[in-house]
């Protein structure tokens, strides 16, 4: 499901500052549910995320993978969960700033948080809810492939149909590599996995399933070069022990080598941190005024990092933020079943 990006909000003409009741930093499941809940409470909401699409890690790493621990679903595909969360919030008109990294947080003379992005956006919010998951995650690079980024080398497979009838080479031995091989095998002309060792981090059952699909798995090898003119055409694979090389046809190389997770600029905002997570209290309030957090990015005694827990934390954060924005507002707004359709 598409969402509006950089959609206009009320703005201060002199400063081009975007005004919103709640700014949610992070468009993963917790952030999207927080966007719904803020709208349900009658609050305007803006969602900012460094990625170009909603869904966080789900959209970036396993959009086609079934998720089994979401209440009410026996299993739900990652992409479908994200689409449902976006659709749930849509009636309330959230605004999205996608492809924006939140770089600086200060408080203005009126005490309201001011958040700046790396693309020059400035958002003034009644409250901020940080739902950044593991923080900023940066793909581990494929040394031989950087020149072909955008020309055949990718880190994510957001839409498998883009690779229909292509020769695809996947580099890596983890769950993402084998999940994408499983997804692409019925669509692509060919799928091959290249891995540096004969040991895989992926679940054994998934490895066996991919083998049974006829996917060629080339071990103890690495991609040593990519070749093509305007677009990728073939890859060179070198055996790490013998040095022997072979050339494979390739329209796409998926570098599934893992990610480096980091809080990024958030770690310099003055928040109290516990082991690189944001410390919160039972209200999901952080150590900074009008700043809350929810989801995997938070830490407190007994914390359980599940999407289901993140949903509840997002609702808790938004409800408590609502009472900070308007001290006369009730903490509990009533059940959704009490509202008129």
Residue numbers in the known binding site are 49, 57, 62, 102, 137, 296, 337
Strands 167-171 and 252-255: parallel
Please compute, for residue 15, the number of CA atoms within 13 A of its CA located in the half-sphere on the CB side: 12
Tell me which residue of 164, 132, 172 sits closest to 25, measured CA to CA.
Answer: 132
Q: Which residues are CB-contacts of 321 (< 8 A; sequence separation ≥ 6)? A: 22, 38, 126, 127, 129, 290, 292
- Rounded to 5°, angle at Cα 281 from 279 and 283: 130
- Helix H segments across 255-331? 307-325
* Binding site as annotated, residues for FAD: 49, 57, 62, 102, 137, 296, 337
CA distance 119 to 133: 21
Quick check: helix, strand or coil at residue 228?
strand
* Size of the chain in residues: 341
């Amino acid at each position: 499901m598409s969402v509006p990006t950089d959609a206009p909000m009320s703005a201060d003409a002199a400063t081009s500052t975007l005004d919103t009741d709640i700014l949610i930093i992070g468009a993963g499941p917790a952030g999207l549910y927080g966007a719904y809940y803020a709208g349900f409470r009658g609050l305007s909401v803006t969602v900012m995320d460094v990625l170009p699409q909603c869904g966080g890690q789900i959209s970036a790493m396993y959009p086609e993978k079934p998720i089994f621990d979401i209440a009410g679903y026996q299993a739900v595909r990652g992409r479908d969960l994200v689409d449902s969360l976006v659709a749930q919030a849509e009636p309330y008109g959230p605004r999205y700033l996608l492809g924006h990294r939140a770089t600086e947080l200060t408080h203005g003379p009126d005490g309201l948080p001011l958040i700046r992005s790396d693309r020059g956006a400035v958002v003034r919010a009644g409250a901020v809810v940080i739902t950044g998951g593991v923080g900023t995650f940066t793909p581990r690079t494929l040394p031989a492939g950087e020149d072909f980024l955008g020309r055949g080398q990718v880190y994510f497979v957001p839409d498998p149909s883009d690779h229909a009838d292509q020769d695809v080479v996947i580099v890596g031995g983890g769950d993402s590599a084998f999940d994408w091989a499983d997804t692409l095998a019925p669509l692509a002309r060919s799928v091959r996995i290249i891995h540096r060792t004969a040991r895989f981090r992926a679940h054994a059952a998934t490895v066996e399933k991919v083998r049974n699909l006829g996917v060629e798995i080339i071990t103890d090898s690495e991609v040593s070069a990519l070749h093509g003119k305007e677009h990728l055409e073939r890859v060179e694979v070198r055996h790490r022990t013998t040095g022997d090389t072979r050339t494979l046809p390739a329209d796409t190389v998926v570098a599934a080598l893992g990610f480096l997770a980091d809080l990024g600029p958030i770690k310099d905002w003055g928040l109290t941190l516990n082991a690189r997570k944001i410390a919160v209290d039972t209200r999901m309030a952080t150590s900074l005024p009008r700043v809350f957090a929810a989801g995997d990015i938070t830490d407190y005694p007994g914390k359980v990092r599940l999407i289901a827990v993140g949903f509840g934390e997002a609702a808790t954060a938004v409800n408590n933020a609502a009472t900070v924005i308007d001290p006369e507002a009730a903490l509990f707004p009533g059940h959704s079943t009490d509202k008129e359709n």
